[in-house]
Chains A and B, each alone.
Chain A
Amino acid sequence: MNLLVCVSRVPDTATKIFVGPDGKTIDSKGVKYILNPYDEFALEEAIRLKEKNGGEVTALTVSADDATDILRNALAMGADSAIFIKAPAEPDSYQVAHNIANSVKDKNFDLIFFGRQSVDFDSFQIPSMVAELLNIPSVSVVSKLEVNGSKVIAERDIEGGKETVELSTPCAISAQKGLNEPRYPKLPDIMKAKKKPIEEVAFFQVDAAVEVISIALPVNKRVGKILGDSDSDINEIVRSLHEDAKVI
């Protein structure tokens, strides 16, 4: 099987984010970048399919920064090779999707995997855009996947339940948490990762569809409430926990 996993380099979820001096980007100084957590589920699923059916796994990223570090992570987990498309500036989802589609259109991938979203800009758009551009079916937020030859059965999370869909390869899949338990890269595989190839592909010029005007940090609006130990205060705490905070 010929499998592609599109990954993205995002700030560590535990990192404290500051807005950069231009007001449109985050200040990357001191920020630790990681492989997008949802992409780990996508990678794990592709690697498992390869281990079961044979074939190759390629990891791909489009990034304005040097993203070879996260590609090495993908290679250490078990991808065989990687493609790095370096964008001249922070690309929007449309540009990323075009670049992915353009670079893989002749490569005959059976399945193209994505994380359901990148935890930086959370646009949720890239998997469906890529599928549309390649004119292949796509299914999003997949929490269970079965592949038999060209037949693909995917279970996806929907509001309050599950939906099972059937589609055929080639297709695009976006992975939800719970699809699998991503592996830790083993030490010998970490060592081998540096010997695996990362191909650099030139950025495909297409205009951005969305322009970021400004970004801002959420304002913390939580206000504390101090109550005493009188009966009425206790009643108020119980009411507040029930109705305002809705925690019990």
Chain B
Amino acid sequence: MFELNFTEEQTMLREMVRDFADNELKPIASQIDENEAIPMEIIRKIGELGILGAAFPIEYGGSGFGEVGYCIIQEEIGRACLSTATFIGAHVSIGTNAIYLGGSEEIRKKYVVPLASGEKVAAFALTEERAGSDAFDLRTKAVPDGDDWIINGEKQWITNGPFADTFSVFARTPRGITAFVVEKDAPGFSSGAPEKKMGIRGSKTSSLTFDNVRVPKENMLGGEGRGFLLAMKTLDAGRLGLGAACLGACKELLELSTKYAKERKQFGEPIANFQAIQFMLAEMATLIYTSESLVYRTAVLYDKHEMLSRQSAMVKLFVSEALDKCVDYAMQIHGGMGFSREMPIERFYRDSRINRIFEGTSEIQKLVIARDIIKRNGIV
């Protein structure tokens, strides 16, 4: 701790992803939003560059950049396009990560390798109609049948659902909640139509239906009855990465707002000269500095296997709320121009809001934090 320097490789990673985001992603971010799709060409390129395998060890097709590397990636992608950051988050830090954390050696080799290269796309299937914030209230069921398990039920709000190849699925079994890997070609499996959303419209979200879907017992992740724990462990990484993507968006908004405030003149001078505007920029910068410190301090802990659920919840809570504040300031500074679809502000405004809801609402994060604090008698 207190060595807060990025390594040469981490800096090179950041520069590469920033170049990629600036050249390939930013110019089409509004198109991704309007067409409600990330071009497959972009997903293929992201995979080829090794971005989707960054966090995983080399033996599973990754490059060993760990959580810090993953956060750097999400920050830089989040600057350009939150739809793409959402796709990456669902694919890497929850979809694939659940398989990595819970899978046997064989399962890791079979599924993590093609997911890390981007040859296949992953999704994380926990949420159901009754089981949103109350994630424990799952109704999807899996029952043993010889050497297989048979899954029945329905999932909702599954990011990457319409086009993923490999799903980490959580179901109720006789001994609690259990996770399985399900492939999209499994008979009885189907995904619904993409949801019509307010923001992150380029990321595709749908329901999933399991109608007597048979999976071999080898596809069980982490042992029977250990699925809920696995889901929570997976979300610990997911929430941290989500914070990193929000941080990137905050930085982009501050840059855009500062530039605009220096150019836009009212009462005969740039609006950046007015204290009302300066205070907004100062608030944004302070939120960013805090968020950045929080994200990378926590990512370092994650890589040292010292991170706690509470810390990841704090990152998610603080940075997603910070983004909503930054995007509001950015809109106010840009005035009418911010409201126009000619500028990316309104897109960030719409894309921001979901971050306080998915992967656990702000209120659920507070519960996670508070329960842990009470258990520890208030000692952080």
* Chain A interface (Cβ < 8 Å from any Cβ of B): 69, 72-73, 76, 184-188, 190-191, 193-194
Contacts and interface: CB of A to CB of B under 8 A. Distances in A.
B51 interface: yes
B230 interface: no
Interchain residue pairs A-B with the least CB separation, the first 3: A187-B50, A187-B63, A188-B63
A76 B63 CA distance: 13
A190 B64 contact: no
Interface stretch (B12-20, B123-131, B309-317): B12-20
Interface in B47-87: 48-51, 53-54, 58, 63-65, 69
A191 B50 CA distance: 11
Interface of B: 8-9, 11-13, 16, 19-20, 48-51, 53-54, 58, 63-65, 69
A184 B46 CA distance: 11
8 contacts: A72-B12, A184-B19, A186-B50, A187-B50, A187-B54, A190-B9, A191-B64, A194-B8
Contact of A191 (B11, B20, B48, B65): B65
Contacts of A186: 48-50
Nearest to A190: B12
A190 B12 CA distance: 7
B12 A73 contact: yes
Contacts of B9: 190-191, 193-194
A129 to B, nearest CB: 31
Contacts of B64: 191
A144 B350 CA distance: 46
Contacts of B48: 186
A69 B11 CA distance: 10
Query: Which residue, of B9, B12, B13, B51, has the highest number of chain A Cβ atoms within 10 A?
Result: B12
B8 A187 contact: no
Contacts of B50: 186-188
B8 A191 contact: no
Nearest to B50: A187
Contact of A72 (B8, B54, B58, B65): B8
A79 to B, nearest CB: 14
A186 B49 CA distance: 5
A65 to B, nearest CB: 15
Contacts of B12: 72-73, 76, 185, 190, 193
B13 A187 contact: yes
B13 A190 contact: yes
Contacts of A69: 8, 11
Contacts of A73: 12
A186 B63 CA distance: 10
Nearest to A194: B9
Given A186-B48, A187-B50, A187-B69, 15 more contacts: A69-B11, A72-B12, A184-B19, A184-B20, A184-B49, A185-B12, A185-B16, A187-B16, A187-B49, A187-B51, A188-B50, A190-B13, A191-B63, A191-B64, A194-B8
Query: Which residue, of A187, A188, A190, A194, has the highest number of chain B Cβ atoms within 10 A?
Result: A187
Contacts of B19: 184
B247 to A, nearest CB: 20
Contacts of B8: 69, 72, 194
Contacts of B13: 187, 190
Contacts of B49: 184, 186-187
Nearest to A76: B12
B373 to A, nearest CB: 37
Contacts of A187: 13, 16, 49-51, 53-54, 63, 65, 69
A190 B20 contact: no
Contacts of A191: 9, 58, 63-65
Nearest to A192: B63
A236 B161 CA distance: 60
B200 to A, nearest CB: 25
Nearest to B10: A190
Nearest to A34: B15
Query: Which residue, of A69, A185, A191, A193, has the highest number of chain B Cβ atoms within 10 A?
Result: A191
Contacts of A76: 12, 16
A73 B51 CA distance: 17
Contacts of A194: 8-9
A34 to B, nearest CB: 8
Contacts of A193: 9, 12
Nearest to A68: B8
A191 B9 CA distance: 7
A225 to B, nearest CB: 16
A10 to B, nearest CB: 14
B17 to A, nearest CB: 8
A76 B12 CA distance: 9
A41 to B, nearest CB: 15
Nearest to B13: A190
Contacts of B51: 187
A32 to B, nearest CB: 9
A186 B50 CA distance: 6
A92 to B, nearest CB: 29
B41 to A, nearest CB: 15
A72 B13 CA distance: 12
Contacts of B11: 69
